[in-house]
C-alpha cells in the first residue's frame, strides 16, 4: 500500500496547488479553468476512493462550468444512481483540494481511507466526460493522471452534456438488475426518442400539426447532442431549429445567450431573431437547464421558466394519475423560495397538489422529491426533473387497468417515465417533455402562459463583510441571524400587496441575495431596495446595491 501512496505522491508533484482556497459546493468546484489543474488531478483520486467505498460501482466525473463564462471551468462528482455526490463527501473533496503539498495530500487521503474503512486494493471504476471549454483538454489530462496514480479503471465519454454523464453512471450501475438504459450517447438517444415518439403517436400528432421550436443552444455542448437526438427522432415528430451552435468559436460559449442570460436579463439573446407567435427555448452551456419564451402580439417578451415548466408537468401528471385511477400513488411538487408565489398557489389551490419547499440547490430538491411516489422538482432557473419511486414503477408495471381510459393513461405514464432523465435535470429531456405535453393538449405557448399570472419580482444582492453571520431556516425563507433583521423585513413586507421577501447568504461570495415580490413591478423593486437597505444598515453591508 505504501508503494501506491508513494506513486500518488510522486504524480502529485506535477500538479502543485495554487495559492487559492477551493470549496466544493452544489456545483462542485468552479473557478478559472487554469487554476483547477491540481484540484482535478486530486478529484481523480477521490472519485476512485468513492468507487471503492461503493464496492466498485461506477462514479462519474464531469468537467464543466455550466452557464459560467468560457474561461471558467469546474469539476463535480456523480454518485452511483446518477445523483449528485453525497454531501458527507463534499468535505473530503474540499480538504483534499486544499492540501498544501504532497505530504498533506497523502495524509488527507489516508484519513479518508481510515474513516470510511476503504479497501484501497479493490477495483475502482470512474466514468468521465467534459464540455467544450478550451481548458477541458488540459483538465482531462490531469484527471486521467490522478486515476492512473490510484490504479482506477475508467471510461472517457468525451464531449457530452452533464445530464448525459449522469445518465451513463446510472445505466452502468443498474445493468445487472433493472437496467435503466444503455450507457452510451446512442443508447440515450434511442431510449428518449422511442418514448417521445410513443407519446406523440398517442397524442395523434401528424407532421403538419407539429409546431417548430427554436432552440438556443448557448454555443455549448447541447448543440451537437441536440442535433443527434433530433436526427434520431426525425422531422415528422420534431421540427427543431438549432440556434447559437458555434461550439468551438472562441468567446462564444454562454456569451449573451443561453438559459441563464435569458432568465437573468428577462430578454431573448440578440442573436436569436424573435418572431411573434413562434416558440423559443434556451439551454445553458452544459444543457442541464431549459427555459421557454415568446413575444406576444404586442411584441412583449414572455418568459416561461422552471416554475412554469414544473406546473405544466405537474398538471399533466395529475391528470394521468387521476385518469389511471392510481389512488395509491402520491404526486407532489418541490420548489425553492425563489419560485414565483403564483406558481405555488396555482399548484396548491388549482391543481390541489402538495408543494414543499427545499433549500436552494438541486441536491436538496432531488432529496425532497424522493419522498413522493412521483415527485416533480424544478428550480426557477429551469433545472429540474421528475422522480418515480420503486412503488410507482411497480404499480405501472403490474396494476390491471379497469377500462380503456385507464389503460391509455397507464401506458402514457410509463412512456413519460422513459422520457425523463431521473438522474438529474436535463435540458434535452425536459424540452421533449414540454413538447409532448403541449402537443397532446394542442396548446401554444400563449395557452400555457395563461395558466397563471406571475407575481412581479426582483433579485438583488448586497456585499457584506462576512456572509457566514447570516443563517436561515424554513427552507431559507426566514433569517435567524443577525438577530432582529427578520422582524424588520417582516414589517416592510406587510406594507405591500402580495408582498414577499427573503434574504439568504450567497454560497460563493461575501454577499447576501435579496428576493422580493409584490403586486406591481414598481413595488417589487421598491420592496427589494428597502430590504437591501435594511441588510446594509443592520448587518454589515460594505458595497453598493441597486
Q: Which residues are annotated as a binding site for substrate?
A: 379-381, 504-508, 513
Q: What are phi and psi of 31, to 5 degrees?
A: -165, -165
Phi-psi region of 474 (alpha: psi -120 to 50; beta: other; left: phi over 0): left
Rounded CA gap, 522 and 239, in Å?
40
Closest CA to 226 of 246, 242, 239, 214: 242
- 299 C-beta neighbours (distance < 10 Å), count: 8
What DSSP string runs through 178-204? Answer: S----SSHHHHHHHHHHHHHHHHHHTT
Instruction: From the candidates 38, 47, 51, 66, give the one annotated as an active-site residue.
Output: 66
Q: Which residues are annotated as a binding site?
A: 66, 284, 286, 288, 379-381, 504-508, 513
| CB half-sphere exposure, 273, CA atoms < 13 A | 1
Is residue 12 part of the annotated active site? The answer reads no
Closest CA to 258 of 115, 427, 19: 427
Rounded CA gap, 358 and 116, in Å?
29
Q: Which residues are annotated as a binding site for Mg(2+)?
A: 66, 284, 286, 288
Q: What are phi and psi of 242, to 5 degrees?
A: -85, 130
21 with 98: CB under 8 angstroms? yes
Q: What Å distances lie between residue 362 and 31, 123, 150, 347, CA to CA?
A: 20, 30, 31, 20
423 with 169: CB under 8 angstroms? yes
Q: What is the dihedral of CA 441, 445, 451, 455, to 10 degrees?
A: 160
Rounded CA gap, 485 and 362, in Å?
28
Whether the ω angle into residue 482 lies within 30 degrees of 0, i.e. cis, is yes
Q: What residues are labeled active site?
A: 66
Amino acid at each position: 500500500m505504501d508503494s501506491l501512496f508513494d506513486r500518488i505522491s510522486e504524480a502529485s508533484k506535477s500538479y502543485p496547488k495554487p495559492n487559492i482556497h477551493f470549496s466544493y459546493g452544489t456545483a462542485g468546484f468552479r473557478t478559472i479553468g487554469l487554476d483547477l489543474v491540481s484540484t482535478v488531478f486530486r478529484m481523480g483520486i477521490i472519485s476512485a476512493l468513492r468507487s471503492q467505498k461503493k464496492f466498485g460501482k461506477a462514479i462519474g466525473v464531469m468537467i464543466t462550468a455550466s452557464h459560467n463564462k468560457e474561461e471558467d471551468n469546474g469539476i463535480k462528482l456523480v454518485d452511483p444512481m446518477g445523483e449528485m455526490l453525497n454531501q458527507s463527501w463534499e468535505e473530503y473533496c474540499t480538504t483534499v483540494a486544499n492540501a498544501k503539498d504532497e505530504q498533506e495530500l497523502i495524509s488527507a487521503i489516508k484519513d479518508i481511507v481510515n474513516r470510511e474503512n476503504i479497501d484501497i486494493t479493490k477495483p475502482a471504476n470512474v466514468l468521465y466526460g467534459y464540455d467544450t471549454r478550451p481548458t477541458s483538454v488540459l483538465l482531462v489530462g490531469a484527471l486521467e493522471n490522478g486515476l492512473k496514480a490510484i490504479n482506477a479503471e475508467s471510461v472517457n465519454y468525451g464531449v457530452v452534456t452533464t445530464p448525459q454523464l449522469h445518465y451513463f453512471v446510472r445505466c452502468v450501475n443498474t445493468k445487472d438488475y433493472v437496467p435503466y438504459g444503455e450507457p452510451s450517447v446512442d443508447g440515450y438517444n434511442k431510449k428518449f426518442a422511442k418514448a417521445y415518439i410513443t407519446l406523440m403517436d398517442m397524442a395523434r400528432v401528424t407532421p403538419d400539426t407539429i409546431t417548430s421550436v427554436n432552440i438556443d443552444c448557448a454555443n455549448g455542448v447541447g448543440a451537437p447532442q441536440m442535433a443527434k437526438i433530433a436526427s434520431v427522432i426525425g422531422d415528422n415528430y420534431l421540427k427543431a431549429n438549432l440556434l447559437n451552435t458555434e461550439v468551438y468559436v472562441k468567446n462564444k460559449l454562454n456569451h449573451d445567450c443561453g438559459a441563464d442570460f435569458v432568465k437573468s436579463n428577462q430578454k431573448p439573446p440578440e442573436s436569436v431573431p424573435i418572431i411573434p407567435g413562434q416558440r423559443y427555448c434556451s439551454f445553458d452551456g452544459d444543457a442541464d437547464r431549459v427555459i421557454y419564451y415568446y413575444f406576444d402580439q404586442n411584441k412583449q417578451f414572455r418568459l416561461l421558466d422552471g416554475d412554469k415548466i414544473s406546473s405544466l408537468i405537474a398538471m399533466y401528471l395529475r391528470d394521468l394519475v387521476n385518469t389511471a385511477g392510481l389512488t395509491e400513488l402520491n404526486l407532489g411538487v418541490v420548489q425553492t423560495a425563489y419560485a414565483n408565489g403564483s406558481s405555488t398557489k396555482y399548484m396548491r389551490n388549482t391543481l390541489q397538489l402538495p408543494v414543499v419547499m427545499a433549500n436552494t440547490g438541486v441536491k436538496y430538491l432531488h432529496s425532497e422529491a424522493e419522498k413522493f411516489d412521483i415527485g416533480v422538482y424544478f428550480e426557477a432557473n429551469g433545472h429540474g426533473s421528475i422522480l418515480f419511486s420503486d412503488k410507482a414503477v411497480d404499480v405501472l408495471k403490474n396494476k390491471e387497468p379497469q377500462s380503456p381510459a385507464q389503460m391509455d393513461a397507464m401506458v402514457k405514464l410509463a412512456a413519460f417515465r422513459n422520457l425523463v432523465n431521473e438522474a438529474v435535470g436535463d435540458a434535452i429531456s425536459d424540452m421533449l417533455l414540454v413538447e409532448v405535453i403541449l402537443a397532446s393538449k394542442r396548446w401554444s405557448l400563449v395557452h400555457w402562459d395563461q395558466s397563471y399570472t406571475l407575481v412581479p419580482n426582483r433579485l438583488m444582492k448586497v456585499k457584506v463583510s462576512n456572509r457566514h453571520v447570516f443563517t436561515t431556516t424554513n427552507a431559507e425563507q426566514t433569517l435567524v441571524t443577525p438577530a432582529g433583521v427578520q422582524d424588520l423585513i417582516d414589517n416592510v413586507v406587510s406594507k405591500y400587496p402580495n408582498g414577499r421577501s427573503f434574504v439568504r447568504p450567497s454560497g460563493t461570495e461575501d454577499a447576501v441575495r435579496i428576493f422580493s415580490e409584490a403586486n406591481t413591478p414598481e413595488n417589487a423593486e421598491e420592496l427589494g431596495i428597502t430590504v437591501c437597505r435594511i441588510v446594509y444598515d443592520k448587518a454589515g453591508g460594505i458595497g453598493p446595491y441597486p
